[in-house]
Structures are given as C-alpha cells and as structure tokens.
Structure 1
Amino acid sequence: MTGPPPPPRASIVVLTHNRRGEVLRTLRRLAALPGDHPILVVDNGCTDDTALRVQREFPGVLLIRAGANLGAAGRNLGVQRVVSPYVAFCDDDTWWVPGALERAADILDAHPDIAVLNARISVGGDERADPACEAMARSPLPFIAGVGPELMGFMAGACIMRVDAFLRAGGYWKPFFIGGEEALLALDIVAQGGRIAYAPELRLHHWPSLARDRSLRSRMLARNALWTAWLRLPAWMAIGHSLSTLRRVPGCRARVRACRDALAGWRLIREHRRPLDSALCEKLRIVWSAAADG
C-alpha cells in the first residue's frame, strides 16, 4: 500500500505585467514539467485580460493580484504564499527545463549553507549562452564542489532559493521598482550567512520579450546601483563604486539625471543604511576587480 506523495520541495513564482502572450507560453512550459510544483502567478497590476486568461487556461495555478504594478516587489506577494522550503522564480518570458528544479532541490538539501542557486540561461531559439552566465562561471570566489562557483549576486528571474532566506532578508525592496533590484537582496542574504552559487547544470530558457521599456529600465538601473552602494557599502567604498557606476552611464545628461534620481531618495537611503562588514566588502572587491580585468 502506497502512502501519499511527498510534499513538493519547490514552488514557482512567476511575475507578470501586461504580457499575456508571454506568460501564457511560460505557463504552458511550466505546466508540462515533471513533478508537482505549485505555480503562483503574481498579476502585477495588469491592465489587459492576463488574469482572466490565466484563470481560464490554468485553473490549478494560484493567481495573486497585486492591485498595482509593484515592480520587482510583486514577487514578495508570491513568496508569502509559498509553503514549500524552496522557491524558483520566473519572469513571464522565462521557464525552467525538465529536471532542473528537482536537481536544485537536491543541491539545496545537501548544502544547507547555500541560500540561492543561479541557473544557466539559454537564450532564444538557438539557445545561446547568456553572457551573464559566462561571467558567473568566471567568478573568482571559491568553487563549491558538485555545484559551481560562489557568487555575490544572482539574476532575479533565473534563480531558486530558500524561502526562509528570502523572508529573513526582507525580499525585494519596494522603492527600487525595477532594474538591478536583486543586488541589495543578494547582499542582505550573504550578510545573514547564506551563500550564493552559480549551478550550470540547472537550466532555464529565456525568450526575451519585445514589450520592454528600455529607457525606463536603463534609468532605474543607474539609480538603483547608486542606491545599493549607498545602502550597504562603507562610505569610502560607496563613493568609489558610485563614480564607477556613473562612468558606465552613457552621456553627461544621463549621468546628471542618475545623480538627481538617486539624491531624491537620500532621506530614505539614510534611514535604511546598514553597511556590510569588512569581510563581505573584501569579497565584493575581489569580484569587482576580476570583472574589471576582463
């Protein structure tokens, strides 16, 4: 006589905003995965009929209505409803390949010190390697046997993590909205003792959406990089990293705008500022130095 099936170890949280076609394609892929992984879709203030179509075509999916576009912080609503120990994230233009979540859960079961695993990303119909993954594979931090190199960051729509690590770190900070929002969460997770690793045997497919506001995202990326530096780096390091960030912003006008955007939140930044300890700052320095060397 067989007992009830074991509870799922990993759930999937999908964030979507006005990309009906993309999210329905992603859900078809996720629904076809082996295993019984609960799927939670956060309707991040959609103004089209995304919610209706998701409910109609995928009645087994838990639809969570944010009520407004919360940006990256919409993922927090999904994680708050997860009951499994691990949560895998997708954007509405990404999906996990068969077997990846089971292997990720095995790795996390075997390595209680690892809080986050970043998958290898295959892009488009030709499944080319995402350049970000090539950079992660060259991480100068220690290699975790059987997993991959240690990191100081991760990609928000291509990772699986411990739910308790996410919640203890506070999830995604709402003021960021979008653009580099995972950098602060990554620093807070490692500050609490969790490790982040690139696990290339885990694979996720990305079919980049054409429905992107590239101008807004570029602007938010610059502001959020400055905010992250001011929130968590000691003063001398924050100044240096801010100057480095601004040098990468194309054009004097855009640099001035980035400074103006960032300074507008200075009171909020000062209230939430918690500099990292020297050991973590040294790890960041090693990672940044290796990236600068190519």
Structure 2
Amino acid sequence: MNPHHPPDSAAAPVSVVIPCYRCAGTIGAAVASVAAQTRRPAEVILVDDASGDDTLDALRAVAAAYRPGWVVVVASPANGGPSQARNLGWERATQPYIAFLDADDTWAPQKLALQMAALEADPGLALIAHRMAVRDRAAGPMPLRPPVRVTAIGRRRFLLNNPFPTASVVLRRDLPFRFNERFRRVEDFLLWAEIGFSGYRCAKLNQVLAYWHKPTFGAGGLTADLDAMHRAGRDVRHELLRRGLVTPAEHWFARSVGIVRRTRRRLLLAMRSRQAGEAS
C-alpha cells in the first residue's frame, strides 16, 4: 500500500486543521506524521495565513503528494494569526471531529487511534487531548507507557493553567465555539476554557502522542515574552469573568495562581541568565 494514498475505508471521521505561516521547511514533516497514523483522518486542511513567501507553493506541493482531495489547501486573504487560520479551517471541515496540529509539530502514529477509541467508547465527550513533549525530530516517536488511561478534566483544573496543548486536541465540529480572533496569545486556552466552563465534558489521555520540535515557552524565553504571556492570561481570565463563565471567586483564585506562576518563571529565567553568564 502506498502510504501517500490513505484508503477511505480506514479513515477516522476527523478533519485535521493546520495553520501555516512561513512554514515551507516543516509542513512536509507535519503532514507526513498525519499520514503515518495507524488510523488516518479523512482529510487534512492546510490554511496559509497570508505568508507572503513560498509557503503557499509548498502547501500545494505537499497536497499533490497525497491522494487527490485528502489534503485541502486554503489561502487566507489577509494575515490574521492562528485563531483566524484555525477558524477558516474549521469552516471548511467536513467531518464530525476536528483535530489541530501546528506546522512545526508532529504526531505519534497511535494518536488518532487512541483518541477515537476513547471518543467511540464515550460519545458524550466534547474534547479529548493528551500529553506532549519536546523531542528532536530525528529521535522518532516515544513508546507508549501502558496502561492507557482517560482522565476527566473538570472545572477546577482550568483554573490552574492550560491543560490541553493545541496539537493534542480533538473536539466535536458542532461545538458552538470558535477561536477568539482578537487573541494572538493563549487563544487556545480561551477556547478550551469556554468549552469546559460551559459544561461540556473534556478528557485527557495519559500518553505523550505529539511533539514540539522547539523549546516550549520558558525553556529560553525572554522577560518580554513572559510579560506578554502573563498579560494574555489576564485578558483570558477577564473575558471568562465578563461572560459569566467563572465566578468572581474563581477569577481571583485563577489570578492568584497566575501571579505565582509568573513569579516562578521570572526566577527560572534569572537563574538561567546567571548560569549562562557564569559559563561564558
């Protein structure tokens, strides 16, 4: 069987949405990790966020390498950030479930098979995610660590931090939410929180099934990045409070947790800066 031509009979009822911005060097590997799924999705939607370089040509070349129609390329008329790009892909999706992947990340082969098994066992779930890890591209996927468990993510968990990395999420296409296009940071957390605080059931697998191929925030972040992330988190908390999705008490609890996390990150950055200075 040609791996570039996944058969329809094996397809999971999932549309994979990948926002793309100047990603010609990584998009091929991202889509290849989708094609390598033990249970492949029905379609992949690549949304070029008005990159203005050769990205759109690269996306079309990737699409041409697979069965016609399996990879769909959408060109945004103007750069709107990842929220707009993901919403455009969501609008084009045809399947009951949507999965998200970023153009510089990859999936482990068992990802969709395990998530779809959990969704089929419990159709009341609105969203299911899993763990992620930073990993070198050449290292290959990590082995599973049995037993595979599904844990419900309740309301209180969303008050602590973002429990769902974007590339880990599979959700129902018919949910009455979208990414808030006013947010260009932590826009994913705002959406997951809206879903969870609105009473929809969410869960998480205890396995690492996707990978970042660059350090996550905090591994080498600057103070300016930290401040911007903190402001974005504050804006998300205010938005949830404004919409009545959290109580004032929950808002202040989450705010306190955010201040503690910001202080801890500042200390870590200061320690890394000092260690770098001593090593030079």
Cα distance per residue 1:109-138 (max 9 Å; x no partner): 221222111123232135799xxxxxxxxx
CA-CA distance at 1:245 after TM superposition? 2.9
Give SS of 2:52's match.
Answer: coil
CA distances 1:2-39 after superposition (whole Å, capped 9, x unpaired): xx837641121111211211122212332333435311
**In 2: Cα distance, 1:209 partner to 1:64 partner:** 28
The correspondence for 1:45, drawn from 50, 53, 63, is 50
Cross-structure match for 2:198: 192
Supply the distance in 2 between the matched residues of 1:19 and 1:7 (Cα, whole angstroms). Answer: 26
Q: Structure 1: which amino acid aligns with 2:248?
A: A
C-alpha deviation, 1:202, in angstroms: 6.4
RMSD in angstroms over aligned alpha carbons? 3.2
2:127 is aligned to: 116
Asked if structure 1 preserves the Cα contact closer than 8 Å seen for 2:167 and 2:210, the reply is no
Residue correspondences, number: 229
Partners of 1:45 and 1:101 in 2: how far apart? 29
CA apart distance, 1:92: 1.0
CA distance, structure 1, for counterparts of residue 52 and residue 11 of structure 2: 35
User: What SS is found at the alignment partner of 1:14?
Assistant: strand
Separation in 2, partners of 1:163, 1:93: 23
Structure 2: how far apart are the matches of 1:25 and 1:6?
21
C-alpha distance in 2 between matches for 1:6 and 1:29: 16
Q: TM-score, normalised by structure 1?
A: 0.67
Letter in 2 for 1:245: G
- The alignment status of 1:22 with 2:26, answered yes or no, reads yes
Q: Is the 8 A contact 1:42 1:78 kept in 2?
A: yes
Counterpart selection for 1:231 from 235, 239, 263: 239
Other structure's SS at 1:174 match: coil
Contact kept, 8 Å, 2:179 with 2:188, in 1: the verdict is yes
Q: 1:219 to 1:22 in 2, by over 3 A?
A: farther
Give the Cα separation in 2 of the matches to 1:222 and 1:92: 25
Q: How many Å separate the matches in 2 of 1:190 and 1:45?
A: 32
Q: What amino acid sits opposite 2:120 in the alignment?
A: D
Structure 1 unmatched ranges of 5 or more: 130-144, 252-294
| TM-score normalised to structure 2 length | 0.70
Q: Does the 8 A contact of 1:14 with 1:42 survive in 2?
A: yes
| Aligned residue in 2 for 1:176 | 183
Please tell me the residue identity of whatever aligns with 2:247: P
Return the offset for 1:52. 0.6
State the alpha-carbon separation in 2 of the partners of residues 7 and 117 from structure 1: 18
The verdict on how the C-alpha distance between 1:28 and 1:127 changes in structure 2, with shifts beyond 3 A counting, is closer
Alignment partners' CA distance in 1, 2:22 and 2:48? 9
**Misfit runs of 4+, over 6 Å:** none
Change (3 A) 1:41 1:128: closer
Letter in 1 for 2:87: N
| Amino acid across the alignment from 2:93 | V
8 Å contact 2:47–2:74 — kept in the other structure?
Answer: yes
After superposition, the C-alpha distances for 1:162-216 in whole angstroms (9 at most, x for unaligned) are 1112xx1x211111112x2222212221233322212124611321279xx9667
Q: Structure 1: how far apart are the matches of 2:259 and 2:33?
A: 39
